């Protein structure tokens, strides 16, 4: 295939302990480290490996957000993507609107495969990939742990609750990456320098004629209920005693 | 008037407990009528189970050969057609529901409320974000159809003393052929199912090898528990991926959760916060797991586990 399109979302870094703002209006993101959504990094790694095997000629990374998302796209370019597209908006967008933006970019670029993360670790929605496949009218292979390409089809192993499921899909299609799909490569310094010269196109969302979806509004944020700290026991007999007290042994 | 259609999860012969939990969640909406939709090649046994769930008015079946396996692209257009007269469409937040429900929502032109953990009204819900670090109240637009997934660990199963009518439905929907089910590799195990087990013993990276996980299996088998694991243990290859508990794995609510050699990263803790009693065994007394554990024991798992297994 000619092109693979990969989505990269800028999110609060995996290691940051996220806190709710004291007025309940949102979560604290000011001054917090931001990174590529980890599942999107896995998606990009898969696309790069497909290209390196000779099954694709170009990997395009797409992000939607403020100009700050350029950082994550530059990291994607340093990992090995060939060019980047940033659809710029100051608005917080819902998954269906994001899917519609992806579809618009698909219509322009005609990729043979779209790879996204299975969920973003900020909103934890796990919706955009499935929604994109639906409105595109194409197959979805979600929670993928292995992707084998064979001409116009792909065989994908999926991590499902029961175990590992295998499906065969016609291309083009949407694949969403699960943890075990691969291990993303580390970016090397010379690649960061090279990435600065790679093309990064900015498209204002207002130029794209995307129909907004009915949004679900977030009206209040609160910290989760805290579990009471329990007791510490010295040894196994004391542990068994404590379990017996609770009727659990 | 709230009319809720719940998409049943099943394996072709029996209903997954996630469906009964969706019914309990839906019952939290005042005045709601609740129907269950069973898509299958042969819906008989599953429909009979669904008809017994307390609170269900009607079970609707769509039987087609293509529905023998849960392929999202095949089920979604049928669900959309069946949902025409409903205000709400609910499914479980399991890999089945997470796969198919957003596809349904997109075909209906709406966003989805993912992972309902509490109902505040017909269009107002609580859901976790940032691996459970925050709980957000969401308000869905009243004029549009509402598609949602239910965080099953937040709900008990509906009782089994109902007797709803079962009706076969034929829908006019175009079934795609671009997605074909090949097979599913189910780990054979005599242990209880991780998602519904009353007791779970879980191991972390500190187990240090696949062989050492035998210590976890031994304790689990002694007390009739299911076996879970952290992402680190799965990534290290000590245990199969379907045992992963946490933000990107399974969300569970057993009565007893024994965490062995698990430090307690927030991404793991979000998967067990509804557990009844959490027991933590870890040699690092500073491990964050002790902040949430009901019973904590600082010690070397390689001596504690065999002793516990022998004496329980």
Q: What was the pLDDT predicted at B60?
A: 98
In percent, how much of chain B has pLDDT > 70? 100
Q: Does A200 contact B at CB distance below 8 Å?
A: no
**How large is the ipTM?**
0.95
| Contacts B110 to A, Cβ<8 Å | 96, 213-214
Confidence of residue A249 (pLDDT cuts 50, 70, 90): confident
Q: Which fold has domain B3-168?
A: Rossmann fold (3.40.50)
Strand-strand pairing, A113-117 and A174-177: parallel
Mean pLDDT of A5-31: 94
What's the half-sphere exposure (Cβ side, CA atoms, 13 Å) at A130? 33
CB contact under 8 A, B137 and A122: no
Q: What was the pLDDT predicted at A227?
A: 85
Pick the residue from chain B with its C-alpha nearest to A232: B296
CB contact under 8 A, A216 and B139: yes
DSSP character at residue B175? P
Chain B contacts in chain A segment 74-103 (CB below 8 A): 94-96, 99
CB contact under 8 A, A130 and B103: yes
Residue with tokens 């170009």: A58
Q: What was the pLDDT predicted at B189?
A: 79
Q: Which fold has domain B199-311?
A: Rossmann fold (3.40.50)
Residue A50 Cα, gap to closest chain B Cα (Å): 21
**Dist CA A119 CA A115 (whole Å):** 12
Residue B268 Cα, gap to closest chain A Cα (Å): 13
How do the domains of chain B map onto residue ranges? 3-168, 199-311
**Dist CA B31 CA A9 (whole Å):** 40
A164-189 residue pLDDT tens: 999 999 999 999 999 999 999 999 99
Containing H/E element for B295? strand B295-298
- SS3 state of residue B289: helix
Which residue in the set A132, A141, A233 is minimally distant from B297, CB to CB?
A: A233
Q: In the numeric block, which tokens belong to residue B259?
A: 């965490």
B271-284 residue pLDDT tens: 999 999 999 999 99
Residue A54 Cα, gap to closest chain B Cα (Å): 24
Q: Does A223 contact B at CB distance below 8 Å?
A: yes
Q: What was the pLDDT predicted at B150?
A: 98
In percent, how much of chain B has pLDDT > 90? 96
Q: Does A142 contact B at CB distance below 8 Å?
A: yes
Pick the residue from chain A with its C-alpha nearest to B224: A249
Q: How many Cβ pairs closer than 8 A exist between chain A and B?
A: 260
**Dist CA B311 CA A237 (whole Å):** 8
Listed as own residue / partner, the contacts of B207-212 with beta carbons closer than 8 Å and 24 or more positions apart are B207/B233, B207/B238, B207/B260, B207/B261, B207/B301, B208/B238, B209/B238, B210/B237, B210/B238, B210/B239, B212/B238, B212/B302
A12 backbone dihedrals φ, ψ, rounded to 5°: -60, 135
Confidence of residue A214 (pLDDT cuts 50, 70, 90): confident
In percent, how much of chain A has pLDDT > 90? 92
Residue B60 Cα, gap to closest chain A Cα (Å): 24
Q: Cβ-count burial of B189 within 10 angstroms (0-12 exposed, 13-18 middle, 19+ buried)? A: middle
The CA-atom distances, in angstroms, between B115 and each of A95, A151, B46, B300 are 15, 37, 24, 37
Question: What does chain A look like in DSSP terms, one character per residue?
Answer: --EEEEE--EEE-TTS---B-TTSSSB--TT--EEE-HHHHHHHHHHHHHHHTTS-SEEEEEEEESGGGHHHHHHHHHHT-SEEEEEE-SSPPPHHHHHHHHHHHHHHH--SEEEEES--TTT----HHHHHHHHHT--EEEEEEEEEEETTEEEEEEEETTEEEEEEEESS-EEEE-GGG--PPPPPHHHHHHHTTS-EEEEEGGGS-PPPPPPPEEEEEEPPPPPPP-EEESSHHHHHHHHHHTT--
**Dist CA A175 CA A168 (whole Å):** 12
Residue B187 scores a pLDDT above 80 = no
Q: What was the pLDDT predicted at B248?
A: 87
C-alpha closest to that of A125 among A165, A154, A94: A94
Which residue in the set B179, B304, B312 is minimally distant from A169, CB to CB?
A: B179
Q: Does A144 contact B at CB distance below 8 Å?
A: no
| Chain centroid offset of residue A230 CA | 36
B215-268 residue pLDDT tens: 999 999 999 999 999 999 999 999 999 999 998 899 999 999 999 999 999 999
Question: What crossing angle do the helices spanning B95-107 and A95-109 adopt, rounded to 10°?
Answer: 70
Look over chain B and give the mean of its residue pLDDT values, rounded to a whole number.
96
Strand-strand pairing, B33-40 and B56-63: parallel
DSSP character at residue B138? E
Three-state SS across A75-129? HHHHHCCCEEEEEECCCCCCHHHHHHHHHHHHHHHCCCEEEEECCCCCCCCCCHH
Confidence of residue B8 (pLDDT cuts 50, 70, 90): very high
Residue A13 scores a pLDDT above 80 = yes
In terms of CATH, what superfamily is A3-245? HUPs (3.40.50.620)
Which residue in the set B114, B178, B312 is minimally distant from A169, CB to CB?
A: B178
**Dist CA B307 CA A49 (whole Å):** 47
- SS3 state of residue B153: helix
Same fold, B3-168 and B199-311: yes
C-alpha closest to that of A101 among A205, A215, A21, A245: A205
Work out the angle at residue B74's Cα, subtended by the Cα atoms of residues B71 and B75, and round it to the nearest 5 degrees: 80
Which residue in the set A130, A164, A219 is minimally distant from B137, CB to CB?
A: A219
Pick the residue from chain B with its C-alpha nearest to A127: B102
Residue B188 scores a pLDDT above 90 = no
Look over chain A and give the mean of its residue pLDDT values, rounded to a whole number.
96
Q: In the numeric block, which tokens belong to residue A204?
A: 């204002």
Q: Does A247 contact B at CB distance below 8 Å?
A: no
Residue B285 scores a pLDDT above 90 = yes
**Dist CA B264 CA B292 (whole Å):** 9
Are A113 and A47 in contact, with CB atoms under 8 Å apart?
A: yes
Residue B38 Cα, gap to closest chain A Cα (Å): 19
Q: Does A168 contact B at CB distance below 8 Å?
A: yes
B59 backbone dihedrals φ, ψ, rounded to 5°: -110, 125
Strand-strand pairing, A58-65 and A3-7: parallel
B109-133 residue pLDDT tens: 999 999 999 999 999 999 999 999 9
Largest CA distance in chain B: 62
Q: What was the pLDDT predicted at A113?
A: 98
- SS3 state of residue B44: helix
CB contact under 8 A, A231 and B137: no
Pick the residue from chain A with its C-alpha nearest to B290: A229
C-alpha closest to that of B4 among B58, B46, B71: B58
Are A248 and B312 in contact, with CB atoms under 8 Å apart?
A: no
B50-99 residue pLDDT tens: 999 999 999 999 999 999 999 999 999 999 999 999 999 999 999 999 99
Q: What was the pLDDT predicted at B56?
A: 98
| Contacts B273 to A, Cβ<8 Å | 224-225, 227
Torsion over CA: B36, B252, B95, A99 (sign): positive
């Amino acid at each position: 295939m000619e092109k693979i399109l990969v989505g990269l979302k800028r999110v609060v870094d995996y290691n940051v302990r996220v806190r709710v703002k004291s007025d309940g209006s949102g979560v604290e993101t000011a001054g917090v480290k931001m990174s590529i959504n980890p599942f999107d990094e896995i998606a990009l790694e898969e696309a790069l490996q497909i290209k390196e095997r000779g099954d694709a000629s170009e990997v395009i990374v797409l992000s939607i957000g403020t100009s700050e998302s350029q950082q994550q796209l530059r990291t994607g370019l340093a990992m090995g993507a060939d060019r980047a597209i940033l659809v710029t908006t100051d608005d917080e967008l819902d998954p269906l609107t994001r899917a519609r933006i992806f579809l618009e970019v698909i219509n322009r670029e005609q990729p043979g495969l779209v790879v996204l993360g299975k969920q973003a670790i900020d909103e934890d929605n796990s919706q955009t990939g499935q929604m994109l496949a639906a409105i595109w009218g194409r197959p979805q292979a979600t929670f993928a742990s292995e992707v084998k390409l064979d001409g116009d089809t792909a065989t994908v192993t999926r991590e499902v609750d029961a175990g590992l499921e295998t499906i065969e899909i016609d291309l083009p299609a949407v694949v969403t990456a699960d943890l075990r799909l691969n291990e993303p490569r580390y970016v090397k310094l010379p690649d960061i320098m090279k990435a600065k010269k790679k093309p990064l196109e900015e498209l204002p969302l207002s130029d794209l004629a995307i129909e907004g979806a009915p949004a679900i509004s977030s009206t209040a944020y609160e910290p989760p209920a805290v579990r009471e700290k329990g007791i510490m026991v010295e040894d196994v007999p004391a542990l068994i005693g404590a379990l017996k007290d609770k009727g659990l042994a | 008037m709230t009319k809720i259609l719940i998409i049943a999860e099943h394996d072709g012969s029996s209903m997954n407990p996630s469906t009964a939990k969706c019914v309990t969640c839906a019952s939290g909406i005042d005045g709601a009528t609740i129907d269950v939709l069973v898509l299958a090649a042969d819906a008989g046994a599953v429909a009979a189970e669904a008809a017994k769930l307390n609170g269900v008015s009607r079970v609707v079946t769509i039987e087609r050969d293509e529905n023998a396996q849960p392929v999202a692209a095949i089920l979604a257009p049928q669900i959309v057609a069946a949902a025409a007269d409903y205000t709400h469409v609910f499914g479980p937040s399991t890999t089945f529901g997470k796969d198919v429900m957003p596809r349904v929502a997109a075909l209906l032109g709406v966003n989805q409320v993912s992972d309902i953990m509490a109902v505040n009204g017909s269009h107002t819900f609580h859901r976790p974000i940032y691996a459970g670090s925050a709980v957000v109240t969401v308000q869905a637009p009243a004029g549009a159809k509402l598609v949602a997934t239910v965080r099953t660990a937040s709900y008990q199963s509906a009782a089994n003393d109902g007797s709803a009518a079962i009706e076969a439905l034929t829908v006019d929907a175009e079934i795609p052929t671009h997605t074909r089910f090949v097979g599913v590799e189910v780990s054979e195990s005599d242990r209880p199912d991780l998602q519904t087990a009353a007791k779970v013993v879980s191991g972390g990276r500190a187990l240090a090898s696949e062989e050492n996980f035998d210590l976890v299996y031994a304790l689990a088998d002694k007390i009739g528990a299911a076996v879970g694991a952290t992402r680190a243990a799965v990534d290290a290859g000590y245990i199969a991926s379907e045992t992963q508990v946490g933000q990107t794995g399974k969300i569970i609510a057993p009565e007893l959760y024994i965490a062995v050699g698990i430090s307690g990263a927030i991404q793991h803790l979000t998967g067990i916060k509804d557990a009844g009693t959490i027991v933590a065994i870890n040699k690092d007394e500073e491990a964050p797991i002790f902040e949430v554990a009901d019973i904590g024991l600082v010690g070397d798992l390689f001596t504690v586990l065999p002793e516990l297994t022998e004496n329980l």
